[in-house]
């Protein structure tokens, strides 16, 4: 078994991994840059080491992190999500130094990170893919010709893209001419590659992803699906497990496709296969070669500790489960509580958290790294916490989500919590009738009141009294 893990990440996912290490008797090593000196993951790890003053450079330096792992006697590195989690060079450096990379092999990361290679692999394995280019596009003229053949609307995507970046929808040739150079520019800046490809835009699909686990002995299982259709500009907001919109037959079919996809590329560790669903037609979209932000809701409905399984797999152990052992119970929702102002085009709202009270009660889980007095730095993702609720029925989990959102107190920065309340109250959401167009089709949900909660008013009065007494 792995004995010591360096966590090449920060924030709530680093805390999540530290907890899994503690439960399995593995020592944890945190890394941080100066803005994270007082972060929770630094406080909770067994050891913590500074990577310097620059907010980002240390987290994005594969060689520096691998060297630190060697110096501190770590025999494994967990990349979390984001940063270097899908960086094939990082995984390759670990392999060269005999450090277990808690994820798939570097060759698999490279092949599945290249969206055109991933499409080729799925096509060869018999997994349905959207119509589109068979390789990277040479220029805008080739793009225009292909778009005429497959029909508008189309999507131009960065070959090495991810996280909703490097994607543009085009409904006409004029839009394609305009957006093509923009995608290339964004791809070059964000991913270091100017390569792009094209695929047919599936209008208003449901976004369904399947969690898989695979060990080094060739065993592959799925942990059912998550519905990620509630999203804005390709960024997920609320995730659901399992999808309340699938039939048992669709669920079985999509789970089987995900296993087939993982087996086709020799996958190992935790991963997610993402699909677009329109009617009964399913299309492969991409594979995420890491633990997902929303792995929490899969854990809630199946009882499987995904991060613990990651540690076991990286130690060379077989999966703890066979497919027939996996079942699900009830429904779970995850809310990404971001420090953003929905009323101001979701602009980030970084700053000091003056008061934070976590919701609780039956079926409520919170994954976070914030606390009262914590200063949210402006250099990283704006997510403050992941609020997860579970209940036996769809109606109950929606009601529990409303209650938990109302229980939470997070003052000092603006968040997306009130906006999520509006979504939960919408009749279409309550009827489980939604797709990826839900958020853009309902701009009226942003017209909620910003009236302060009584607890916030009380805190303001207390602060004023304290300030006056001190004066």
Contacts of 375 (CB under 8 A, 6+ apart): 351, 352, 353
- 96 with 126: CB under 8 angstroms? no
- 66 with 94: CB under 8 angstroms? yes
Q: How far is CA 259 from CA 67, 240, 273, in A?
A: 35, 20, 9
Strands 355-357, 375-376: pairing kind? unpaired
Give the whole-angstrom CA distance, residue 284 versus residue 208: 10
- 359 with 366: CB under 8 angstroms? yes
Is 452 one of the catalytic residues?
no
The DSSP 8-state label assigned to residue 2 in this structure reads: -
- 166 with 157: CB under 8 angstroms? yes
* C-alpha dihedral (226, 230, 236, 237), degrees to nearest 10: -110
- 387 with 408: CB under 8 angstroms? yes
Helix, strand, coil fractions of the chain, as percent rounded to 5: 40, 25, 35
Choosing from 290, 312, 336, 400, the catalytic residue is 290
The secondary structure element, H or E, covering residue 90 is helix 88-96
Give the whole-angstrom CA distance, residue 231 versus residue 278: 16
Give the whole-angstrom CA distance, residue 45 versus residue 27: 8
The residues assigned a catalytic role are 290
């Amino acid at each position: 078994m792995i004995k010591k893990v360096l966590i090449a990440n920060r924030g709530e996912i680093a805390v999540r991994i530290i907890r899994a290490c503690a439960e399995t008797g593995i020592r944890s090593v945190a890394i941080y840059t100066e803005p994270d000196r007082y972060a929770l993951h630094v406080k909770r790890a067994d050891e913590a080491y500074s990577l310097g003053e620059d907010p980002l450079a240390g987290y994005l330096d594969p060689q520096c992190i691998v060297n630190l792992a060697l110096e501190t006697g770590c025999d494994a590195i967990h990349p979390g999500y984001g940063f270097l989690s899908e960086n094939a060079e990082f995984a390759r450096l670990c392999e060269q130094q005999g450090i277990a990379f808690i994820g798939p092999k570097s060759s698999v990361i490279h092949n599945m990170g290249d969206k055109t290679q991933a499409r080729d692999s799925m096509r060869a394995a018999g997994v349905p893919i959207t119509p589109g280019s068979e390789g990277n596009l040479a220029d805008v003229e080739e793009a225009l010709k292909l778009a005429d053949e497959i029909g508008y609307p189309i999507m131009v995507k960065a070959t090495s893209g991810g996280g909703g970046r490097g994607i543009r929808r085009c409904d006409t040739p004029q839009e394609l001419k305009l957006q093509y150079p923009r995608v290339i520019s964004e791809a070059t800046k964000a991913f270091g590659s100017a390569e792009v490809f094209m695929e047919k835009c599936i209008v208003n699909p449901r976004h369904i992803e399947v969690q898989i686990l695979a060990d080094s002995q060739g065993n592959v299982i799925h942990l059912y699906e998550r519905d990620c259709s509630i999203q804005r500009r390709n960024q997920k907001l609320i995730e659901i497990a399992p999808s309340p919109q699938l039939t048992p037959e669709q669920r079985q079919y999509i789970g089987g496709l995900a296993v087939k996809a993982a087996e086709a590329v020799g996958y190992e560790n935790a991963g997610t296969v993402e699909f677009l669903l329109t009617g009964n037609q399913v299309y492969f979209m991409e594979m995420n070669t890491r633990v997902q932000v929303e792995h929490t809701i899969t854990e809630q409905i199946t009882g499987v500790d995904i991060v613990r399984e990651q540690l076991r797999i990286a130690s060379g152990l077989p999966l703890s489960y066979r497919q027939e052992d996996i079942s699900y119970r009830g429904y779970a929702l995850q809310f990404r509580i971001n420090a953003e102002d929905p009323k101001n085009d979701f602009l980030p709202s970084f700053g000091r958290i003056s008061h934070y009270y976590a919701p609780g009660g039956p079926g409520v889980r919170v994954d976070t790294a914030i606390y009262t007095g914590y200063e949210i730095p402006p250099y990283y993702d704006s997510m403050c916490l992941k609020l997860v609720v579970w209940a036996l029925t769809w109606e109950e989990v929606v009601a529990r989500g409303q209650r938990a959102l109302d229980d939470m107190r997070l003052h000092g920065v603006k968040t997306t919590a009130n906006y999520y309340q509006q979504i939960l109250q919408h009749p279409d959401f309550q009827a489980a009738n939604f797709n990826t167009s839900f958020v853009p089709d309902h701009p009226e949900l942003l017209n909620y009141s910003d009236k302060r909660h009584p607890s916030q008013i009380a805190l303001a009065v207390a602060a004023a009294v304290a300030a006056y007494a001190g004066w």
